Amino acid sequence: MEPLRSRLPASGTTIFTVMSALAEKHGAVNLGQGFPDFPIDPQLIDLFTQAMKAGHNQYPPMAGLPALREAIAGKVERLYGRQYDPGDEITVTAGATQAIYTAITALVHPGDEVIVFEPAYDSYIPSIKLAGAVPVRVPLTFPGYHLDWPAVRRAVTPRTRLIVVNSPCNPGTSVLSAEDLRHLEDLTRGTPILIVSDEVYEHLVFDGGRHEGMARSDELAARSVVIGSFGKTFHATGWKVGYALAPKAITAEFRRVHQFIVFTVSTPAQHALAGFLKDPTHYEGLTAFFQAKRDLLREALADTPLELLPGEGAYFQLARYGRVSEERDEDFAKRLVRDYGVATIPLSVFYEEGTDNRVIRFCFAKRDETIVEGARRLRGLR
């Protein structure tokens, strides 16, 4: 038998798996992988249980439970003033990563170019390659991790089919501004370029900022797939339920692919989320909740030699460690686990070519005591 030819020969075990395994081996405080260590709302658990007991255990419609799609439409209109048709413009997905893969697969063809910004969430480039398209990597500015618009314009060619944006940015923690939306409107106006907008941290924009998503712009909404995540919003990452918003024609293409990847998503989870969304306070308080955790982590790390970078959004904090070490970021992160008992994520893994600016990423979607203990262990850092 001939050796298998890999579709993703450069991909191996993810750094998230590596660092979490190291954390478990060394009894480390895990401030690496982006998932909460605190429980979800008991009401959401009750709603899930009630749905199962009521017999909602078989396939829901392919596009998602109508009640959930209607609830999503209501939330989006309430927050951004844009109406999406629950029947033809909203699709429930098995998490945001599946929505990203589905959108890219549905919208690009072999040889198309897709602009993606680095450091980038690690599913973007593999999804582009699996679709036979060409990733065109544009670096975000350093150390602010904002869009460099002259560089973006230089990256556009007649073969550009798609731009992937992410705000609030994981891992960059930056957010798009209203001016960024205007630049994006100007760049795409009169072109066939579409947009996939990963907005899973939409409720985590700090210091009085406002989430400037594609739904705020008529021009951009007309060419965008906007992706959200209930796992991120309601601390239930293991439920793997997200959604995609797009105009009718784009949604039709999205669903052609979606039906053959997962077909549909957990029925009781959809019933539970539909009921939970009836109360807007379940997501309105998230900004203050997570900003308090960001501020706690920043205060707790203030007397370490780490240089904390600005954190505009998402539930991550970046830090430069150049005052401490000249090590590669992956080596430094592994040493933090072994010698100090704290797991982080090195930022070079979010660049296809491993750009190393000596930056590590902390996740503060953790219990306060987890945050405080992790910072305490780093006070002896040298």
Question: What pLDDT, on the 0 to 100 scale, is given for residue 299?
Answer: 98
Q: Which residue would you say has higher pLDDT here, 91 or 4?
A: 91
Q: What is the mean pLDDT of residues 199-209?
A: 98
| Rounded Cα–Cα distance for residues 204 and 206 (Å) | 6
Query: pLDDT tens for residues 160-200?
Result: 999 999 999 999 999 999 999 999 999 999 999 999 999 99
**What CA–CA distance (Å, rounded) separates 364 from 30?**
10
CATH class of 15-40+284-377: alpha beta
DSSP letter for 348, please. G
Name 90's bridge partners. 245
The tens digit of pLDDT for each residue in 356-367 reads 999 999 999 999
The count of other CB atoms within 10 Å of the CB of residue 305 is 16
Q: Given this model, what pLDDT does residue 34 score?
A: 84
Would you place residue 150 in the very low, low, confident or very high pLDDT band (cuts 50, 70, 90)?
Answer: very high
Residues contacting 150, CB < 8 A, separation 6+? none
Residue 33's pLDDT band, with cuts at 50, 70 and 90, is confident
- pLDDT recorded at residue 325: 95
φ, ψ of residue 224 to 5 degrees: the values are: -120, 150
Q: What share of the chain is helix, strand, coil (3-state, %, to 5)?
A: 40, 15, 45
Q: What pLDDT is recorded for position 339? A: 95
Would you kindly state where each structural domain of the chain is located, as residue ranges?
Answer: 15-40+284-377, 58-279
Tokens of 304: 């370490």
The pLDDT of residue 382? 80
pLDDT over threshold 90, residue 20: no
In the chain, the percentage of residues whose pLDDT exceeds 70 is 100
Q: Is the pLDDT of residue 111 over 80?
A: yes
The long-range contacts involving 183-187, CB below 8 angstroms and separated by at least 24 positions, are 183/147, 183/149, 183/152, 184/217, 184/220, 185/217, 185/219, 185/220, 187/149, 187/152, 187/153, 187/156
What pLDDT does 172 receive? Answer: 97
For 228-263, the pLDDT digits (tens) are 999 999 999 999 999 999 999 999 999 999 999 999
C-alpha 157 chain-centroid distance: 27
CATH 3.40.50.2000 fits 58-279, yes or no: no
The average pLDDT across 27-34 equals 91
Higher pLDDT, 230 or 1: 230
- Residue pair 216/179 in contact by the 8 Å Cβ criterion: no
Q: Is the pLDDT of residue 2 over 90?
A: no
Q: Is the pLDDT of residue 12 over 80?
A: no
- The SS3 assignment for 343 reads strand
* Beta-ladder partners of 363: 316
pLDDT in tens, 295-353: 999 999 999 999 999 999 999 999 999 999 999 999 999 999 999 999 999 999 999 99
